[in-house]
């Protein structure tokens, strides 16, 4: 069996932020951006030293290539020579070396399951493993109540497309019923608090895919339907009995003998961190400038899609740049914070993204060029924030830097709707006044709802700026704190550049907050 390091990132690594924080990026040398990597891979250079040959690799052979100058790594059964990529790895060389000469799949999935390694490292492909090592699932079986079988051995010789994802299969019970005009698919989750936020459905081209998200697992139902249906779906959840109903409309009134043929991963569960995100095409409905460099874009989900984005979760947008798949996270927002959006402004079919355009960025200039009606590929929601973190909380302290404001938007709106929240305070860090997103709305909200307070802190203000200046520091954090009492339970939420998040988490820990009382958003 190949040795995968037990902990990744390493305890002392640059990539390991505090327990509450997420991925960390390191400063790369000039000329080592993702765009530079794409250029290098397209230059025709032999990236493997094998002149385009693919070989079969044994564990013993893989283990020999464990030095920076000769580093191979196995991801999902494929072996890559990652030496040329080391300097381009956003998490730093040391992190990548943790998987040197070994199976890095689990490490990879823990940190960036959403990155398509096959696309990113295509030119570094050495070949495939002769066998796939058995890997014990890390996720607690006890917690979820689901029994997870160990991964199985994979054999075969073809290279590399369609390499099957290592999901952990288990089935939930489902059945179907029909009337002359309708089909109803019922999934029994045995989970009492299930709601429609937990269900993602895509019905397109006669293929029905439903994903029921439970704590660490997603149950997948994936079928090519036996007859044609209209491309609309409605979802009903009977929370008390943990039952989900998917209602479809037949295109013609015929009686079906069977529901359809199974597609990939049908009737199975996959661990949520195992990657394999499902993307659907969404149309750009509108776009609006909200500052000199940021836009509010509204995307429409396709008619056969049912998907909601819970508070604090993000989605991924996928683009293809010179044939390399580039995926970036964005946190959906509301169409406005104040006045409150009308119901038809933010139906479940519209997803609003607040995006800052970085002129030298890889994906945002492409997004900026989108015209109304153009499509993007959008994943379902991901993220480590849970509603349960708000249970019993009466005060929120929010620290946002730049576009780190985006997860705060739904959080502010959601919590102010509840009378149990006595105070919601936002510290909003920006460079200049012109960078403050939705300042008017924030000011209006604070004058309308006295429970909401906002403070702007600028790191590069004009001399006449009368507000607070500087970057995050201890004195600012302690100044912002109210006297802590037994009955005022506080949750601190932080989002911004990694270094900002690290520092904020550190300061609040020094101020006596426990890890459970601090949430650091990571995208």
Which residues lie near ligand NAD (CB under 6 A)? 314, 331, 356, 401-404, 406-407, 429-431, 435, 459, 471-472, 495-497, 499-500, 503, 521-523
In this structure, what DSSP letter does residue 340 have? P
Cα separation, 210 vs 458, whole angstroms: 45
Rank residues 27 and 371 by Cβ distance to ligand NAD and give the closer one: 27
What secondary structure does DSSP assign to 404-463, as a single string? GGHHHHHHHHHHHTSTT--EEEEEEEESSGGG-TTHHHHHHHHHH-TTEEEEEEESS--T
* Whole-number Å distance between alpha carbons of 362 and 384: 25
Compute the half-sphere exposure of residue 360: CA atoms within 13 Å on the CB side of its CA.
Answer: 4
Q: What are phi and psi of 46, to 5 degrees?
A: -75, 105
Count CB atoms within 10 A of the CB of residue 165. Answer: 11
Q: How far is the CB of 313 from ligand NAD (least distance, A)?
A: 9
Nearest distance in Å: CB 459, ligand NAD: 4
Which two three-digit tokens encode residue 38? Answer: 């794409």
Which residue's CB comes closest to ligand NAD? Answer: 402
Q: Indicate the residue among 204 and 356 with the shorter CB distance to ligand NAD.
A: 356
From CA 428, how far away is CA 459, in angstroms rounded? 11
Residue whose structure tokens are 């497309």:
161
Whose Cβ is closer to ligand NAD: residue 125's or residue 437's? Answer: 437
Nearer to ligand NAD, 126 or 427 (CB): 427
The least CB distance from residue 322 to ligand NAD, in Å, is 23
Q: Identify which of residues 364 and 415 has a Cβ nearer to ligand NAD in the complex.
A: 364
Q: Is the peptide bond before 339 cis (omega within 30 degrees of 0)?
A: yes
Question: Would you say 25 or 243 has its CB closer to ligand NAD?
Answer: 25
- Across 343-353, b (16+ Cβ under 10 Å) vs e yields eeebeebbbbb
Instruction: Give the whole-angstrom CA distance, residue 108 versus residue 119.
Output: 14
Closest to ligand NAD by CB, 244 or 494: 494
Rounded to a whole number of angstroms, the minimum distance from the CB of residue 328 to ligand NAD is 9
Q: Phi/psi of residue 226, each to 5°? A: -75, -25
Least distance between ligand NAD and beta carbon 272 (Å): 17
Question: CB 236 → ligand NAD: shortest distance, Å?
Answer: 31
Least Å distance, CB 19 to ligand NAD, is 16
Q: How far is CA 480 from CA 36, 76, 231, 414, 455, in A?
A: 42, 47, 51, 22, 9
As given in the structure block, the two tokens for residue 61 are 């052979």
Nearer Cβ to ligand NAD (23/265): 23
Smallest distance, Å, CB 159 to ligand NAD?
Answer: 35
Nearer to ligand NAD, 72 or 330 (CB): 330
Shortest Å, Cβ 432 to ligand NAD = 8
CB-facing half-sphere around the CA of 53: CA atoms within 13 A: 6
């Amino acid at each position: 069996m190949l040795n995968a390091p037990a902990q990744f990132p390493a305890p002392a690594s640059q990539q390991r932020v505090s327990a509450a924080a997420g991925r960390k990026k390191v400063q790369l040398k000039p000329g080592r951006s993702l765009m530079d990597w794409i250029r290098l891979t397209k230059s025709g250079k032999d990236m493997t030293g094998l002149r385009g040959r693919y070989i079969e690799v044994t564990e013993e052979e893989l283990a020999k290539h464990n030095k920076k100058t000769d580093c191979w790594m196995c991801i999902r059964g494929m072996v890559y020579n990652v030496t040329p990529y080391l300097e381009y790895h956003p998490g730093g060389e040391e992190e990548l070396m943790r998987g040197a000469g070994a199976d890095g799949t689990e490490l990879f999935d823990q940190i960036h399951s959403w990155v398509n390694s096959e696309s990113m490292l295509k030119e570094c492909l050495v070949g495939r493993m002769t066998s796939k090592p058995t890997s014990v699932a890390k996720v607690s079986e006890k917690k979820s109540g689901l029994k997870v079988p160990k991964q199985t051995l994979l054999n075969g010789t073809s290279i590399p497309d369609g390499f099957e994802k290592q999901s952990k299969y288990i089935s939930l019970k489902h059945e179907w019923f029909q009337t002359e005009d309708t089909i109803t698919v019922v999934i029994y989750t045995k989970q009492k608090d299930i709601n429609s936020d937990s269900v993602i459905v895509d019905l397109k081209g006669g293929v029905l895919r439903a994903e029921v998200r439970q704590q660490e697992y997603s149950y997948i139902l994936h079928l090519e339907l036996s007859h044609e249906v209209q491309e609309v779906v409605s979802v009903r959840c009977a929370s008390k009995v943990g039952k989900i109903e998917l209602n479809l409309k037949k295109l013609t009134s015929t009686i079906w003998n069977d529901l359809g043929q199974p597609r990939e991963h049908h009737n199975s569960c996959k661990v949520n961190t195992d990657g394999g995100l499902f993307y659907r095409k969404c149309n750009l409905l509108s776009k609006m400038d909200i500052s000199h460099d940021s836009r509010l874009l509204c995307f429409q989900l396709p008619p056969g899609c049912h998907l909601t984005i819970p508070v604090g979760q993000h989605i991924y947008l996928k683009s293809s740049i010179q044939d390399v798949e580039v995926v970036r996270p964005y946190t959906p927002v509301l169409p406005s914070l104040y006045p409150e959006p009308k119901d038809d402004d933010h139906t479940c079919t519209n997803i609003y993204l607040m995006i800052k355009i970085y002129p030298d960025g890889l994906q945002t200039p492409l997004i900026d060029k989108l015209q109304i009606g153009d499509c993007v590929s959008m994943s379902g929601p991901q993220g480590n924030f849970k509603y349960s973190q708000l249970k019993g909380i009466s005060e929120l302290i929010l620290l946002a830097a730049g576009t780190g404001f985006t997860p705060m938007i739904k959080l502010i709106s959601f919590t102010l709707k509840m009378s149990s929240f006595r105070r919601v305070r936002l510290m909003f860090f920006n460079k200049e006044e012109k960078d403050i997103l939705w300042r008017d709305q924030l000011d209006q909200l604070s004058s309308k709802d006295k429970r909401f307070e906002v403070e702007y802190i600028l790191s590069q203000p004009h001399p006449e700026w009368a507000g607070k200046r500087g970057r995050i520091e201890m004195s600012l954090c302690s100044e912002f704190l109210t006297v802590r009492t037994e009955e005022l339970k506080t949750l601190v939420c932080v989002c911004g550049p990694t270094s900002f998040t690290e520092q904020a988490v550190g300061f609040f820990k020094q101020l006596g907050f426990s890890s459970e009382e601090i949430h650091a958003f990571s995208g």
